[in-house]
Amino acid sequence: MKLFRILVMALGFTSVSSFAQDVPVEELPIATIASNYYITLPEIPVENYYFIDISHMVFADEAEAVYLLSAYCQANLITCEVFYPAHYMIIQIHTEYMPGGVAMDRADLQAYLGILPKPPVE
């Protein structure tokens, strides 16, 4: 059973880490992220993928960037892949998991992103 769990986890990480490899980055709509990890989507209909520049954010190293961005920018409807050396990340909106199988409009998705956990304020 333990071996099965490890195998399932490995397959899960493989699929998450490769979701953006087939996406042409230069054609993606651009979303933004604030220093408090609040993601803002552009004023367009909801897309499956968005490009986010993270060059303005400060991280000690790649491991910290991946850890923090994953902790504060991922949930049931959104996953991210961090490209730390190039200072960007790609987020994927999982429209297939939207409530009732109906895609959210931009305002509802933005509200969803607003309730994701954020780091404590110092």
Mean pLDDT of the region 44-63:
95
Predicted confidence (pLDDT) per residue in 55-99, tens digit? 999 999 999 999 999 999 999 899 999 999 999 999 999 888 877
- pLDDT at site 122: 65
Structure tokens at 44: 């367009």
- pLDDT at site 13: 45
Predicted confidence (pLDDT) per residue in 95-110, tens digit? 888 777 667 889 989 9
- pLDDT at site 37: 95
Q: Report how far Cα 117 is from the mean position of its chain's Cα atoms.
A: 13
Distance of alpha carbon 122 from alpha carbon 100, whole angstroms: 39
- pTM comes to 0.78
Structure tokens at 84: 């730390």
